Amino acid sequence: MDIRFIIIAVNFIVGTILIVYGVNLMSTGLEKANTYRMKRCLETLTYNLPLALVTGMILTATVQSSTAITVITVGLVNSGLLNLTQAVGIIYGANIGTTITAQLMSFKLPYAGYIIIGFGLLIAITAKKKSVKNVGWAITGLGLMFTGLNILNSGVPYIKGGKTAIKLFQTYGQNPLIGLVLGIITTMLVHSSSATVGLTIVLFNAGLISFESALGLTLGDNIGTCITAQIASIGTNIPAKRTAWAHTLYNVIGVAIAFVLLMPFSHLIKEITFLLGQDNTRLVANAHTIFNILSALVFLPLTKYYVKFIQWVIPEK
């Protein structure tokens, strides 16, 4: 077996595992440190739609996990503490807040991961308070995420040097539809859109896939991440099931519109990135953020009708 293939495989597996584990450790640590506060905020700061959106966005940016916020929201709806309109507003905001992780991963920090891991472990091991320990583990997760990205990047020269690998990317890495399907499946398997967006950033910045294909992967990530809310809604009441489907159909409809308008959407991302004075390494992260902001802006004035649509899709038994 070609040694180059072994190196590529090892880098891909180790890098991906570190990103997935790092993102999960970061979000779990932050979630544990703030679970009570998050629930209180979701119960009290969501009495109108714009406030629900802002609350969902800030909380998700704080814990770096739209999945955690969505699952908590499903639980609160199931217990009758939130209604569907409030939950939909939270979902709009959560989708925006989760894109902060992609923005962090778009920065090139070659050795920062190791320093962040050391700092996080120091806090986690020496801290007396449980909440501080959880913050330490969250910082460790952030360091593991950056380290995983660096390992993936280190495998890029070997991919470019291999005829079979480069031919594979040249054949399939330019197709947005293939990217969309892979994004959905991969995110469903790893339960983390942030991890698959990180992988997309590495592949695009290395020139292995086109920007349109990277957009397909990123859009697919938004659909794939809905699987967790669907699992969380199993065995719950009708309002909770409606919340899970509101999350899923919101992403599916938004992705469908963006995919139909893929070329104009691609040009828009490039123009905004240029106006912000950023280079092409920020394109994928910006696409993830801008897509979710635009989706919220489109759906916000139509929420009343969207809620009625969800109630029609999931009727009372």
Give Cα 90 to chain centroid, integer Å. Answer: 15
Task: Report d(CA 210, CA 246) in Å as an integer.
Answer: 31
pLDDT at 234: 87
pTM of the shown model: 0.86
Q: What pLDDT, on the 0 to 100 scale, is given for residue 259?
A: 94
**End-to-end CA, the chain:** 58
Contact by Cβ (8 Å): 130, 138: no
Q: Which pLDDT score is estimated for 281?
A: 87
pLDDT at 26: 83
pLDDT per residue, tens digit, the chain (317 aa), is: 567 667 777 877 888 888 888 887 887 787 777 667 777 888 777 888 989 999 899 888 887 777 778 888 888 888 888 889 999 999 999 999 988 888 888 887 767 888 989 999 999 999 888 888 988 998 898 888 888 888 887 777 766 666 666 666 666 678 899 889 988 988 888 777 778 888 888 888 888 888 999 999 999 999 998 888 888 888 888 988 999 999 999 999 999 999 999 999 999 999 999 999 888 889 999 999 999 999 999 999 999 999 999 999 999 86
Nearest to 182 by CA among 152, 150, 227, 223: 223
Phi/psi at 316 (5° precision): -65, 140
- CB-based contacts of 97, cutoff 8 Å, min separation 6: 56, 57, 58, 59, 60, 61, 62, 66, 69
DSSP string of 22-62, one letter each residue: HHHHHHHHHHHHHHHHHHHHHHHS-SSHHHHHHHHHHHHHH
CA pair distance 238, 131, nearest whole angstrom: 35
CB 85 within 8 A of CB 53: no
